[in-house]
Amino acid sequence: MKRAAVIFDLFGTLVADFASSAGSMNSELAAALGLPDEPFMKLWRQTTAMRTLGDFQTVEASIEYVCETLGATVSAAQMATAVELRLRYIRRALKPRPDAVATLTRLKSDNYKTGLLSNCSIEIPILWRETAFANVVDTAVFSSRERLKKPDPRIYHLVCERLGVSPSSCLYIADGENHELTAATETGMYCALIRNSSQETRGELHQEAREWQGAVVADFAEVLQWVRITDGG
């Protein structure tokens, strides 16, 4: 059938995976707040699921939660510095992978709708309009805004609903975190795994990426070829 939309994952797909420099950022946050590294970093990591599901709707709220849990009181100046550090790091993390923006632009010029589906904390939707993706992605769905995350089928149906397309008319491209490709396939989407060289180098491929038996693309040049092939072009 004719494909109407191409939907992408964010981290590990349109941008690099998030894990590669998180440790350094967390240490900087702890220092800005005057807190010891290890307790702060341990608790911050433990709040990942809460942040991804939108328990904190501001950057301040997530930092305040960790500080209060540790029994620490921080000044307004310390909080402002920590928030700016966090946002600065996220801005760097949102740097597009080579050819990602060009690929989205080409897909739109070829009359495909483009979507994003991301499990992420609140910083991503806060900063989204600043990114190079904002004008080339028609609909962006963030777990922290919707209080849903992959692989919950409802979030796949939500992005389709907002694009005005059926799942069966969508192509989904991702790096396989959270078994997202299997979940997308079960909703009716046609899926491809995009290879993640940094994860391969570190030996940290997601389980689904190691086991995936479906389509695989190496880079965004192959994404365009795959889209044409699946659309009968």
The answer for residues whose C-beta is within 8 angstroms of residue 86's C-beta and 6 or more apart is 25, 29, 59, 63, 123
How far is residue 45's CA from residue 51's CA, in Å, rounded to a whole number?
A: 10
pTM here is 0.93
Q: Write the pLDDT tens digit of every residue in 168-183.
A: 999 999 999 999 999 9
Q: Write the pLDDT tens digit of every residue in 215-228.
A: 999 999 999 999 98
Structure tokens at 73: 């009181």
Per-residue burial over 96-111, b if 16 or more Cβ lie within 10 Å, else e, is bbeebbebbebbbeee
Residue 230 has pLDDT above 90, yes or no: no
Predicted local distance difference test score (pLDDT) of residue 200: 66
Predicted local distance difference test score (pLDDT) of residue 231: 79
The answer for residues whose C-beta is within 8 angstroms of residue 49's C-beta and 6 or more apart is none
Which residue in 197, 190, 203 sits closest to 219, CA to CA? 197
What SS3 class is residue 33? helix
Predicted local distance difference test score (pLDDT) of residue 43: 93
Number of neighbours of residue 18 by Cβ within 10 angstroms: 18
Higher pLDDT, 213 or 26: 213
> In CATH, which superfamily holds the domain spanning 5-16+95-230?
HAD superfamily/HAD-like (3.40.50.1000)
Q: Write the pLDDT tens digit of every residue in 77-121.
A: 999 999 999 999 999 999 999 999 999 999 999 999 999 999 999
